[in-house]
Structure 1
């Protein structure tokens, strides 16, 4: 199959959107499919990405401008005619719109005009972000734009049941569930490093390590971890980068901020820690929870969005009431200072994600591509225009 990815963001910027594309594209490159990637142009971007089997995948960049206040994010400024030409150059069987917004909307219109099947993957709660960035008045407009964009696609894939319901409530059509995979070579309890632990804790056996991984941005609510930072005998590790980094360092001066990490270096940090916490309430999935679980860590998150599917309270971690930071602290204490319970939760967490490899999830995505192609062939029939087909085996 010839698959055209259209990414709202891509390398060298690493985030959930980029990671998902890289993982499924690597599998498709290894299994004989032809691939192309369209993404906003940015400093340091390469013309090709090399898959693990050595195949070079062409990246076709389009003009872009920096997002005000978050310059590492680029907003595409290309138009429909330009995208039509780029798409026709590759002549895909299906177009994968990764977290579509500005570029994804333009690509969706181009694909519609070219009568090419599209699968739109919803990954970012853009309407929810509007309030976090002081633009709450734009929330309604954001939902309208995203609904029109996604309903133009042949299928929309959401990463969690909470997100599926949210999209359904806002009038999105042709919804299906597609979760995310885990790279078990990079995330495993076997990567725990005693020397690193001794360094992080000052070789104090009474110290416990709590880790967060993600962007250091308002929507992640990393400042809520201050209550964990202030707990006795707790070392907080805050992994990631973003516009809030300097503010957070001042707020939590005893936390360790190693910056952005990936691959085995990230896996080593996770496996060496005791507990993972993600305080963001706008997560459509929360991939880092899965990676922490694969590393043998219990996880704590708000009872909102994607984490509700990932964490089984009292078994693999805890879900606290959004905004109740005292409950967050109590749950953290419950696991940090009960070694037996923490070990039980950690083993259960690892077991819960064992079947979620990227090749398995990539093959599920391939089945959705075929559904989109079939829908495009039979578009206009009542049975093909609306509905849910929610799979939960992963």
Structure 2
């Protein structure tokens, strides 16, 4: 089987209307598939002004805004017109990227059409309730996810640490790796811009602790702010630079009144902003990979991160940064204070991180997933043929 033999129906809750790491990975994958002759059709909610240009045919799915997070849409159903469209496209593989209502319906449709189905795992949805005072729902959320993923022929995680967690949770018996890549032209130490820092009122010698990402509570904003408070109580000079936007921005800005908030940054502006930091601090435990962690490493920054899926596969503790137990604010503060105070330690860890980031090239990473696609299609055909012979 060749890549050009693939006909992939991709179901996404958000293919290109909000820019985040998961969507950028899906778009890069589709571009790679099309470049190698595969046929791809995307099924997703759409908006009049997407965050980035579509690179494939996208069939609109009916959706509703997420309560309290209206920028996100939840696809609600697969109407007859969409089902007919899928049947006419005649995929030989269905890829679902979110365990939402339509994800469940897409798996059922694939089963009815006798088409193999795979799922990619992009975030730890089961951890979200704890950030909204609903931690008691986590076991139920885990059970729902298990039912969803077990109906798939295989699932793909972005890191070995996340894959092992999925195995431990018995989400599926076939767990592969679809990692994430880095654009070295966009993220490298040479993108550092001292003049841009000065424009924000940051002195050249002031160490900058950075945050990059959507400003939502599940990113660990409370832990970030508390840890920064404890760095300040240690009398360590520093500045906080926040890159990103989201519904928790007002809360975060009040919590960190001395921080510089520069909003959403994209493309070259994001590369400049990251490289102009001195330390990346990522306290989140919801990421399955941690794109911002890899981008910081490629930019030559030490990373202080929570011991969590994703960061465990990227950060080498004591070499490229520090891995700290989730929520351990005193230990986060100690690690941040160390890198703020020791320029040589920052340099060594940053150089080690930049070298480690070179292993992540998008084409090689996407080809590994495509190899998994073709294996699943072959296995499905062999099992089907065997069943028919029997």
Aligned to 1:274: 278
Aligned to 2:3: none
Is residue 200–residue 235 contact of structure 1 (8 Å, CA) maintained in 2? no
- Structure 1 residue 381: deviation in Å? 11
Is the counterpart of residue 21 in structure 1 residue 26 in structure 2? Answer: yes
- Distance (whole Å) between structure 2 residues aligned to residue 183 and residue 24 of structure 1: 14
Aligned counterparts, 1:193-208, within 5 A: 193-202=193-202, 204-208=203-207
Deviations 1:162-220 (A, max 9, x none): 32232223222211122111122211112111211222344x23311111111111111
- Structure 1 residue 46: deviation in Å? 9.2
Aligned to 2:12: 7
- Structure 1 residue 329: deviation in Å? 1.1
Aligned to 1:373: 377
- Distance (whole Å) between structure 1 residues aligned to residue 132 and residue 60 of structure 2: 28
- Structure 1 residue 94: deviation in Å? 1.6
Q: 1:224 to 1:4 in 2, by over 3 A?
A: same
Aligned to 1:212: 211
Q: 1:299 to 1:48 in 2, by over 3 A?
A: closer
Q: 1:330 to 1:201 in 2, by over 3 A?
A: farther
Is residue 75–residue 100 contact of structure 2 (8 Å, CA) maintained in 1? no
Q: 1:375 to 1:144 in 2, by over 3 A?
A: farther
- Distance (whole Å) between structure 2 residues aligned to residue 370 and residue 171 of structure 1: 24
Unaligned runs of at least 5 residues, structure 2: 1-5
Q: 1:324 to 1:140 in 2, by over 3 A?
A: closer
Is residue 160–residue 177 contact of structure 1 (8 Å, CA) maintained in 2? yes
Aligned counterparts, 1:243-322, within 5 A: 243-322=247-326
- Distance (whole Å) between structure 1 residues aligned to residue 51 and residue 333 of structure 2: 44
Is residue 17–residue 52 contact of structure 2 (8 Å, CA) maintained in 1? no
1:233 aligns with one of 220, 237, 254: 237
Aligned to 1:116: 115
Is the counterpart of residue 30 in structure 1 residue 35 in structure 2? Answer: yes
Q: 1:82 to 1:376 in 2, by over 3 A?
A: farther
Is residue 320–residue 327 contact of structure 1 (8 Å, CA) maintained in 2? yes
Q: 1:86 to 1:132 in 2, by over 3 A?
A: farther
Aligned to 1:387: none
- Structure 1 residue 337: deviation in Å? 2.0
- Structure 1 residue 359: deviation in Å? 0.8
Aligned to 2:177: 177
Q: 1:47 to 1:178 in 2, by over 3 A?
A: closer
- Structure 1 residue 137: deviation in Å? 3.6
Q: Choose 169-178 or 367-376, whichever is displaced more.
A: 169-178
3-state SS, counterpart of residue 300 of structure 1: strand
Is residue 99–residue 124 contact of structure 1 (8 Å, CA) maintained in 2? no
3-state SS, counterpart of residue 4 of structure 1: strand
- Structure 1 residue 127: deviation in Å? 1.1
- How many equivalent residue pairs? 375
Deviations 1:355-393 (A, max 9, x none): 2111111111110101210221234899xxxxxxxxxxx
Q: 1:47 to 1:341 in 2, by over 3 A?
A: closer
- Distance (whole Å) between structure 2 residues aligned to residue 359 and residue 117 of structure 1: 24
Is residue 48–residue 59 contact of structure 1 (8 Å, CA) maintained in 2? no
- Structure 1 residue 121: deviation in Å? 0.4
Is residue 10–residue 18 contact of structure 1 (8 Å, CA) maintained in 2? yes
Aligned to 1:96: 95
3-state SS, counterpart of residue 314 of structure 1: coil
Aligned to 1:39: 44
- Structure 1 residue 48: deviation in Å? 6.9
Q: Over the residues paired in the alignment, what is the CA RMSD in angstroms?
A: 2.2
Aligned to 2:333: 329
- Structure 1 residue 83: deviation in Å? 4.0
Is residue 281–residue 322 contact of structure 1 (8 Å, CA) maintained in 2? yes
- Distance (whole Å) between structure 2 residues aligned to residue 261 and residue 112 of structure 1: 41
3-state SS, counterpart of residue 378 of structure 1: helix
Q: Choose 161-170 or 273-282, whichever is displaced more.
A: 161-170
Is residue 123–residue 284 contact of structure 1 (8 Å, CA) maintained in 2? yes
3-state SS, counterpart of residue 95 of structure 2: strand
3-state SS, counterpart of residue 259 of structure 1: coil
Q: Choose 288-297 or 223-232, whichever is displaced more.
A: 223-232
- Distance (whole Å) between structure 2 residues aligned to residue 143 and residue 92 of structure 1: 29
3-state SS, counterpart of residue 181 of structure 1: coil
Deviations 1:33-80 (A, max 9, x none): 222211124453499714xxxxxx111111000111111111111137
Is the counterpart of residue 106 in structure 1 residue 105 in structure 2? Answer: yes
3-state SS, counterpart of residue 313 of structure 1: coil
- Distance (whole Å) between structure 2 residues aligned to residue 381 and residue 147 of structure 1: 28
- Distance (whole Å) between structure 1 residues aligned to residue 277 and residue 135 of structure 2: 37
3-state SS, counterpart of residue 216 of structure 1: coil
